[in-house]
Amino acid sequence: MKWPFPRFLDLFAELLGKKMKQLKQRLHNGEVLIGTFLSLGNPITTEIVAGAGFDWVVIDLEHGLGTEGDVALQLLGLKASGTSAIVRVEGSQRQRIHRVLDLGADGIMCPRVENADDTAAAIDAMHYPPLGKRGVAKMIRASGYGPGFDQYYSSTQDTLLGVIQIETTESLNHLDAIAGMPGVDVLFIGPSDLSMALGIFGQTSHPLFIETVQKIVSAARKAGKQVGTLMADPSEFDKYYDLGIRFLAAGTDASFLSKGARQTAASLQEARQKK
């Protein structure tokens, strides 16, 4: 019997589109979505984290150890899990963004976006015309290497997640323009950079930081968008939830490994000292 490979690829693209659309719909329905960051650039740790129960992960190319060449293997590690993959690129350059989308990323996180022009550049790179200016190639992993391209092309506006990071005082002057841009789904607060910019580094319970978060949430709600952030610890969940944030992350694959290793070593050292 001849293997119906083209049909298999069509189904792959269809299922991929459903997974992506489900995440975006859940987000816009106001559901809380939990995630984490992947900073090691390793497909094995990616696969392990993918099986832990997160809704989404961010493959971090801005601060992480991996490169674009590692992203494809990480996406393969995520494939069977149902966990959505967002890639944090280094900036809004078109080539950087559409490259990882072609590999099959479910969305893009763009750092240090400061105004409407920065936002437009990121959205242009994410989306095919007429919404954007993304370059077209059919033989890409995102489309099942060709046969699923028509379905992928027609669905990206409804499925790809656009996450724009708010990390500077300049971005606070343009929140309405940034949040109101079509293609933007999440305003993501970078707590370290934003608190640094506010002159209160690391003080995420400081009244000025809380006031700034409320300002960001207000702008997002007015535009029908959501807000996300990276928590220092899961114990901060209630704090950020009460502030109106529904796209919440904690930890990295590196921190999970480090914490587990240190806890195990400490337990063994304690046991040894008792002998």
pLDDT at 93: 85
The mean pLDDT of 162-189, rounded to a whole number, is 97
Q: What tens digit of pLDDT does each residue of 75-118 get?
A: 999 988 889 999 999 988 888 999 999 999 999 999 999 999 99
Q: How confident is the model at residue 158 (pLDDT cuts 50, 70, 90)?
A: very high
Bridge partners for 33 per DSSP: 247
CA distances from 17 to 22, 129, 149, 157, 261 (A): 8, 19, 11, 11, 38
Confidence check: pLDDT of 5 > 60: no
Structural domain boundaries in the chain: 5-273
Q: What tens digit of pLDDT does each residue of 20-51 get?
A: 558 999 999 999 999 999 999 999 999 999 99
Q: How confident is the model at residue 10 (pLDDT cuts 50, 70, 90)?
A: very low
pLDDT at 133: 94
Confidence check: pLDDT of 139 > 50: yes
Residue 51's CB: how many other CB atoms inside 10 A? 14
Q: Which helix (H) or strand (E) holds 110?
A: strand 107-110
The mean pLDDT of 10-28, rounded to a whole number, is 65
**Residue 205 in tokens:** 């319970």
Does the domain at residues 5-273 carry the CATH identifier 3.20.20.60? yes
The residue that leads in pLDDT, 40 or 4, is 40
- CB-based contacts of 108: which residues, under 8 Å, 6+ apart? 86, 87, 88, 89, 97, 100, 101, 122, 125, 126, 160, 161, 162, 163
The catalytic residues are: 63
